[in-house]
Amino acid sequence: MNVLIALDAPLAKERLLRLLKQFNSYNVLTKEARNSQETIDLAKQYVPEVVLLDLNISGLSGLETAAQLKQLNPPPAVIFYTAHDEYALQAFDACAEGYLVTPIRLEQLNKALDNAAKFIRLRLNKQNKTTTEHGRTHISARTHKGNELVPIKSVICFIADNKYVSVIHTQGEVLIEDSLKSLEEELGDQFLRIHRNALINLDAAQRLERTSSNALQIHLKGLDHPLNVSRRHASAVRKAIEEHGS
C-alpha cells in the first residue's frame, strides 16, 4: 500500500521513515506534504491508501485536513502523528485509523497500520459489492499519475503479457494486474476473446481478413495494427461480429 507522509518536523519524519522500512507491504511516496493544502493535493494526485498526518500541520488544522481527506473518492486511511495525546478522542471522531504519540514505538505504528489495512479492506469490499450489483464502468490502473480511471467504453482491447494485462484505450495504454479470464467473465457481453492473450471491444471491430499465410486477423478502430485471431476462436469471432453488426 502507498503511504503519503505529511509531517513538518524533519527529525520525526526521519524516524518514521526508518520504522516504515520494516513493513514490506508499505511503499512511502517520494512526494511529501509540508502543509494541509499540499496534503490534500497530493492525496488527490497519487491516491495513497494511507496518509500519516501531523496533527499540527501548517495551514488548516490536522482535524480539518483529515475531514477533507475523508471526502475524497476513494478516501485514504488517516493516521495522526503528534507530541500530544489530549486530542485522541477528537482524532477518532474525525474517523482516523490511528493516533501516534512521540516518541513512536514500533508496536504502536504496527497497530495503527493494522487498523489502516482493515479500513482499506472494508473499503475495497464495499467497492466490490457495488461493482457486482451495478457493473464496472471504469478500469482502475496505478500509473505515475496516481490512480488512473479508464472508461470501459473507451477500451479498444486487453492484451495479456506475462503477469500484467495491457489496457489499450482511445487515449493511450495502461497496465493492470487483473487476469484476462476475470475480465472476460466480468465484461463478456461487450468484450470478445479472439486469442488466448487478447480480448477486444466488439464496438471497435472493423473487419476480418486473411493474410498471405492464411492467418486470420481483425482490424480494430483506434488501433494501428491488426490482431491475430486464433483458429480455436475463429468461428466464434466471425459469428459474434456478424451478430453485433446486424
CATH of 138-245, one of 1.10.3720.10, 1.10.150.20, 2.40.50.1020, 3.40.30.10: 2.40.50.1020
Closest to 54 in 3D by CA, of 78, 73, 31: 78
176-198 confidence digits (pLDDT tens): 989 999 999 888 789 999 999 99
Please check whether residue 32 is in contact with residue 6, taking contact to mean a CB–CB distance below 8 angstroms.
Answer: yes
| Fold (topology level) of 2-128 | Rossmann fold (3.40.50)
146: left (phi over 0), alpha (psi -120 to 50) or beta: left
In this predicted model, which residue has the larger pLDDT, 145 or 234? 234
Which residues of the chain does CATH 2.40.50.1020 include?
Answer: 138-245
H or E element, residue 210:
strand 205-210
pTM value surpassing 0.85: no
In this predicted model, which residue has the larger pLDDT, 90 or 49? 49
H or E element, residue 227:
strand 227-229
**How far apart (Å, rounded) are the C-alpha atoms in residues 171 and 121?**
31
| Average pLDDT of span 57-77 | 90
**How far apart (Å, rounded) are the C-alpha atoms in residues 236 and 195?**
11
Which residues of the chain does CATH 3.40.50.2300 include?
Answer: 2-128
What residues form DSSP beta bridges with 218?
208, 227
